[in-house]
Chain A
Amino acid sequence: MNLDELAQTTGEWLRGSGPESDIVVSSRVRLARNLADFPFISRTTEADRAAIEKILHGRLQEMQDSGRAPADLIYVDVGDLPELDRQFLVERQLISREHAESEGARAVAIDRAEQFSVMINEEDHLRIQVMHSGLDLQSALEQASTIDDMIEEQVTYAFSDRLGYLTACPTNVGTGLRVSVMLHLPALVITRQIEKVFKSLQKINLAVRGLYGEGSQATGDFYQISNQLTLGETEQELAKKVADVVPVLIEYERQARSFLVRESHETLHDRVSRAFGILRTAQTITSEETMHLLSSVRMGINLGLIGNDLKITTINKLLIHTQPAHLQKLAGMELDQTDRNVERAAYLRQHLDPDTKSGDPANN
């Protein structure tokens, strides 16, 4: 199995080109499940984890053999993977950081289109994750539930009538469901309204996380909005609550963008143009600065402040390809931080340079 193939593409969650795709990046659904006849991960022995991995791998294999799961499912033994490849899967959001860094037998099954991944022996025995581009929680939920049903035909989940699906952490018990939508909200950040928005979301029991989930910094003004409760509401209700808030956040972000265009057009245009200029000419650049600048350019495209034919999908591709592990996979070698920064700048110049792109750079 070759992860290098995946590195060439952007993956499902950054594919976005639909309506509002400049703000709504992707929708994600994950279900947490545990086998009834094994302890939760923290109390498992190495033998337990190997047995769980064998059972669930076997189950996925049966699903493939009977033609109900894609035949080209990529099954990756995460424990055996070099550090760089694990980091690569984290950047792609196919596995969690916790999954990459933990120990013992653990694996992930990924479909080629990267619409779903099934993590084995993460915090729970089983984490089914579905990712769709744009705002599409309902069908993502259906897909996750179908995969859940298929796996469950041959294994017994830990479940109680009262508390629902039993999970290692009480914060996931019940539905075991986390639905999240990733949004790009640069104007709310610039106008300093983002904190206010977060506080209101918390009041209605929605959580806000950064690009790479729990505890991660919100990089490049990307935020994930998700449900906090998992018990006492149906899956559909939980998904609806998150889905309902998205149009409101889009509206706030649009208003903030209009405000900036109206009230401080020169400053905004300057900010976007400088960001674009640095990205096209820098000789060495960190991942953080790249994310920060790409965020400005991404908004600038939407507001017509970038005068050439640069597309949001190109920026999406650069966002993922300039991450440390992606950059090294694309370069075909391991690079230390200094070399990575040089390689990243070269990659950006190659993809944004006016000489290699048609159209005139922004100057109108």
Chain B
Amino acid sequence: MKCQKCDRAATFHITDLVDGQASEVHLCEQCAQAFLTPTPEEAEEVMPAMAGLLAQHLAVDETADELARLDQRACPVCGITFLQFRKQGRLGCPHDYVFFEKELEPLLLNIHDQTQHIGKNPKRCPRGADQQTQLIRLRREMKEAVSEENYERASELRDQIREIEASVRPSPEP
């Protein structure tokens, strides 16, 4: 079977749902990828409930200017901006819970009615969780250094990463 959009062989057979009507779409891998990748508009629709909830909360306390400034704040560890979080409804790294603490507080209260965990704790005491957060940042910086062809910096960062990785690795089971 040929792809419906080009001349390659159709290897993807997708059931598309439009307004409750199912139809079959037959595409090659490349066209299927384009077909299945959400448009920016669709991607924004992913978590409308959460975005709405956030907007509602933020609007109460913040003026438009403050909101715009807030949206531009970026986590120093993973680089996600608050705007990106608001759009996708997913955080970028564990440090976001610290960095956006003030912004997340009303949201957490609204969802859970609580802001203190009282359930299970990890058995093993997480040694140097701060260092592990640093690993996220260092790996990102190394990738940036490589893309800027700053190989000297990249190799420095790689050494730092290896050092931390070795120190935080749990000891083998007794």
Which A positions have Cβ atoms within 8 angstroms of B?
A: 34, 36-43, 45, 48, 66, 83, 101, 123, 145, 148-149, 152-166, 168-171, 173-175, 177, 205, 228-235, 238, 324, 334, 336-337
Contact = CB atoms under 8 A, between A and B. Distances in A.
A156 B119 contact: no
B119 A177 contact: yes
B112 interface: yes
A40 B111 contact: no
B24 A155 contact: no
Interface of B: 12-15, 22, 24, 36, 50, 77-80, 88-94, 97-98, 104, 107-108, 111-124, 126-127, 129, 132-133, 135-136, 139-140, 143, 165, 168, 170, 173
A40 B120 contact: no
Given A154-B170, A156-B127, A229-B111, A164 B117 contact: yes
Contacts of A165: 117
B119 A235 contact: yes
A38 B170 contact: no
A230 B112 contact: yes
A174 B13 contact: no
**Main secondary structure on chain A at its contact with chain B?**
loop
B135 A37 contact: yes
Contact of B13 (A45, A83, A166): A83
B118 A337 contact: no
A152 B124 contact: yes
A322 to B, nearest CB: 15
B92 A156 contact: no
Given A34-B94, A40-B94, A170-B107, 10 more contacts: A38-B135, A40-B91, A145-B120, A153-B170, A164-B121, A170-B108, A231-B117, A233-B114, A324-B15, A336-B24
B136 A174 contact: no
A169 B90 contact: yes
A154 B173 contact: yes
Given A42-B90, A166-B94, A334-B13, A155 B170 contact: yes
A332 to B, nearest CB: 17
A40 B97 CA distance: 12
Nearest to A33: B122
Contact of A234 (B107, B115, B119): B119
Contacts of B115: 162-163, 231-232
B123 A45 contact: no
Nearest to B89: A169
13 contacts: A36-B129, A39-B140, A83-B14, A145-B120, A156-B126, A157-B126, A162-B117, A168-B90, A173-B97, A229-B111, A231-B112, A231-B116, A238-B119
